[in-house]
Chains A and B, each alone.
Chain A
Amino acid sequence: MSLSFLLLAVAALCVLSFYFGRQRAIALSGGRYSNLHSLPTHYGMYVALWCGLPALLLLVVWYMFQGSIIEAMIIADLPAEITGDPGKLSLALNSISLIAEGGGQHLTVSPEVVDAGRRLARLHTIANAALIVVMLASASVGIMLSYRKIDPEMRARNNVERISRWIMIACSAIAILSTVGIVFSLLFEALHFFSKISPLEFLFGLEWSPQTAIRADQVASDGAFGAIPLFVGTLLITLIAMAVAVPVGLFSAIYMGEYASSKFRSVAKPALEILAGVPTVVYGFFAALTVAPFLRDNGAIIGLDVSSESALAAGLVMGVMIIPFVSSLSDDVMSQVPQSLRDGSYGLGATKSETIRHVIFPAALPGIVGAVLLAVSRAIGETMIVVMAAGLAANLTVNPLQAVTTVTVQIVTLLVGDQEFNSAKTLSAFALGLVLFLVTLGLNVFALKVVQKYREKYD
């Protein structure tokens, strides 16, 4: 029985219990609703909530722990020679789960592992059956208990409203929970990483080559984890992107807001917004297959050696992506400059452009700075364009014609494909993620503060 079926069953139970709860309340009222404390639907809802809510909570808790408990049970039964070595253990666990899913016939593994695989499959079946039983049982118990409580005197509406209030609070708390989840999961793995590599070396080292040897006999470099080349690469591409996005975005915002006729605006504004809606993977494809070859070939004509993964291509395309972001934010900001300032300027005989340059722009400057900072944070965190169009090798250079790599590119390359947990190589991705999160968070908080302060000034 699949999960969706189980959920449907619980939902059906909820509907049924709502109906019966309501019927019972009507029956108890003796035909006069005014005999009841609340409306009959409230009694129905009361029963339905007691049916569905505990069952759903159980499901969530169950899935949070099922995997780790089953894994612990499997590991406990494996011989010490496998569990002693983390590399062997992760390999064995992989084969076990493969065997449990019915595959792995081609694997040459010890009989213990095959047994464990069969056991895992059995445990999964048992766990699924147990989940079904537990959920249906909790739903039925909930129905029974709450159904018996139905009474004309019961304050069903107040109960239901109290429960729904708590549900709403829990939903709002998810925003906090996910921030906490991000911080803890990044911090946990990053601390793990910093116990192997010193934070100073990570933050200030000049060499990045995370390819460490997985097996002892493998030829690989020792692994250097100096992230400066990544930071420089990220900043270089961000700078190029800003060099495109800020002037173009700002001037389009000015034209849209101050010059354009409403007819022009109604066409051009949605067209600009399309640029924001295009998925980043599309920009990445465009950068890698159209812009980069174009730059390389034209560079060759004028005698420049442009790498086919140049920072310029990725940066230019990223800039195009950010144009609508800058333009809509600065449009917002500039339209909030009070009309009186404009009127004063026109009254003194200034032209439109003089008003914009000497009055509106300085007045809106804090807001525009905030907008640009938000755009910078976006560019730093952007992933797909650079994964597809920027390089992989960590060159410490500020030449936009060469290939550089970025923080996000490295996170992706370190975590996609085969990975061995607990190796410094994999963990370094989390350390990079932590840096990325902190930097973007800092930029955002600062930018939002600036924008907020600016808003208050003219409100």
Chain B
Amino acid sequence: MTDMASLMEDRAAAKVISDNLHKPVDWDSPKIARNIKKRYAAERRFKFYGLAAIGVALLALFVLAGSIGSKGYTAFFQTYVQLEITFDQDAIDPDRTGDPAVIGKANFDGLIKQALRERFPQVTGRQEKRDLYSIVSGGASYDLRERVMENPGLIGQTRKVWLISGDDFDMLNKGYISADVEEGNRRLNDEEIAWYDALKSDGAVEKQFHTRFFTNGDSREPELAGIWGAAVGSLYTLMVTLALSFPIGVLAAVYLEEFAPKNRFTQIVEVNINNLAAVPSIVFGLLGLEVYLNVMHLPRSAPVVGGLTLALMTLPTIIIASRAAIKAVPPSIRQAALGLGASPVQTVTHHVLPLAMPGILTGTIIGMAQALGETAPLLMIGMVAFIVDIPGGALDPATVLPVQIYLWADSPERAFVEKTSAAIMVLLAFLVLMNGLAVYLRKKFERKW
């Protein structure tokens, strides 16, 4: 539009306005009605956008929960295969000593393999046999040994025994491997699927509740991997975090809220706390790596170091929450205590802190929940190691639940996808529990002054 044209238009508009100023507005004119209609439509549209935004967020939450739940619920069950095992006296205890040490060393793996060969006598080739043996997990022989050690009377008998299956077989039974896919594109060949069908039609394939998932440490074999090791590691880490950040955080909050004079030092502390709350968690990991590992030479991968790092991270959360709780205690309480002759410290420890405690605890639990879900800083201080043993103390190498999830998510085996999702469900369950507790505390002890 040229300048001239726009000027003409402005003039025309100005004339309309000045004309209208002298006339009363005709509220019933079609123009006004149209205008109002348009404005109401805009109103509805705007409201719809808001609703849609909430819908999008909730949809994302729903899809997230759905995809993890649908991927993970199968991990709580594990496929077992029933085989007829001959507990051969000559293979287990040839000299008939009955000595547990001898029985413990017997080749139970061989018994399982023999049972598989007897079940499918047509299998002869080397590779075929190896495929056949992979039906049963490598961990099954330990189960068998335990069973015989507990009941030595089994030796010399033939029993039908449920054995834990290998991961590919488990995936096939759970329907993650489809027989319709071209043979080259799936983990199991036609022959293995035929074995599965044969066993299935015998009723020798069954899903049982997978207790190992809750009691085992990590493993390279998905069917033997469990979360107990990581859960214990998380527990130790959180204990260290709590033991440090709770007293330090509360004392700092009390000082800043009740005693601190308004001076340079206090100001710097306050600015620092606010900024620390927003520092990316991975930077705390770098701090932990440099200070705790390179300077102080504390043990790598230990929950102590993880706890120390996370304590620094949760400290701002706890301080901020505690300060808010302390601030909410009305001044009249303090004045009453002081008036009765209590010292300032007594006022705080006898009156203010107990009254602020529910709020402080709520903040602490929320901080702990954050620490429980934190991964990145722990990667920096070496808590990513592959650790099979359940840690026995805060100085043993360990990993934590979120890091275990990260490690499993990186594993190539198909079966680890469901393990990862299941571990996520367990982690989320803990978080829901902690946050639920925080909400409960707040509801129960909330006080309107």
Contacts and interface: CB of A to CB of B under 8 A. Distances in A.
Interface stretch (A28-36, A197-205, A213-221, A280-288): A280-288
A252 B259 contact: no
Contact of A178 (B42, B294, B315): B315
A301 interface: no
A165 B259 CA distance: 8
B57 interface: yes
B319 to A, nearest CB: 7
Contact of A356 (B46, B280, B294): B46
B274 interface: yes
B52 A186 contact: no
B297 A255 contact: no
Given A173-B269, A351-B43, A157 B343 contact: yes
Interface string A38-67: 000000000000000000000000011111
Contacts of A282: 64, 68, 373, 405, 424, 427-428
B49 to A, nearest CB: 5
Given A285-B420, A381-B281, A255 B298 contact: no
Contacts of A412: 282, 376, 379-380
B286 A353 contact: no
A440 B54 contact: no
Interface stretch (B156-164, B166-174, B197-205, B248-256): B248-256
B345 A161 contact: yes
A90 to B, nearest CB: 12
B255 to A, nearest CB: 4
B134 interface: no
Contact of A271 (B61, B63, B279, B315): B61
Nearest to B271: A445
A99 to B, nearest CB: 15
Most-contacted residue by chain A among B46, B57, B294, B344 (CB, 10 A): B57
A66 B373 contact: no
Contacts of B394: 3-4
A323 B428 contact: no
B398 interface: no
B415 to A, nearest CB: 14
A174 interface: yes
Interface in A261-319: 268, 271-272, 274-275, 277-286, 288-290
B57 A68 contact: no
Interface stretch (A76-84, A135-143, A429-437): A429-437
A353 B42 contact: yes
A95 interface: no
A308 to B, nearest CB: 14
B407 to A, nearest CB: 10
Interface string B284-319: 101101110011111000000000000010011001
A110 interface: no
Contact of B278 (A171, A186, A377, A411): A377
A356 B46 CA distance: 10
B67 interface: yes
A395 to B, nearest CB: 21
A53 to B, nearest CB: 13
B57 A272 contact: yes
B389 to A, nearest CB: 13
A255 B252 CA distance: 38
A384 B406 contact: yes
Contacts of A444: 274-275, 278
Interface in A330-353: 351-353
Contacts of B291: 181, 185
B393 interface: yes
A324 B46 CA distance: 20
A441 B282 contact: no
B14 interface: no
A255 B278 contact: no
A416 B380 CA distance: 6
Contact of B268 (A63, A68, A176): A176
Contacts of A371: none
Given A157-B343, A161-B345, A279-B427, A408 B376 contact: yes
Interface string B221-258: 00000000000000000000000000111011011100
B439 to A, nearest CB: 9
B339 interface: no
B252 A66 contact: no
Interface string B15-37: 00000000000000000000000
Interface in A427-459: 429-430, 433, 436-437, 440-441, 444-445, 448
Contact of B276 (A178, A185, A448): A178
Given A176-B269, A433-B283, A252 B54 contact: yes
Most-contacted residue by chain B among A4, A169, A251 (CB, 10 A): A251
B275 A441 contact: yes
B280 to A, nearest CB: 2
A278 B272 contact: no
B399 interface: no
Interface in B360-398: 369, 372-376, 379-380, 384, 393-395
List the 8 shortest-distance A-B pairs measured between CB atoms, nearest first: A67-B297, A381-B280, A255-B50, A279-B373, A251-B53, A185-B290, A353-B46, A168-B255
Given A175-B272, A256-B54, A354-B42, 10 more contacts: A3-B394, A67-B296, A168-B254, A175-B319, A179-B275, A251-B49, A254-B50, A285-B420, A415-B286, A433-B283
27 contacts: A2-B395, A64-B296, A67-B297, A68-B297, A175-B269, A175-B272, A178-B276, A251-B53, A268-B54, A272-B54, A277-B431, A280-B373, A281-B405, A284-B406, A285-B405, A285-B421, A289-B409, A320-B57, A323-B57, A327-B57, A351-B40, A351-B42, A353-B43, A412-B282, A415-B379, A416-B384, A440-B278
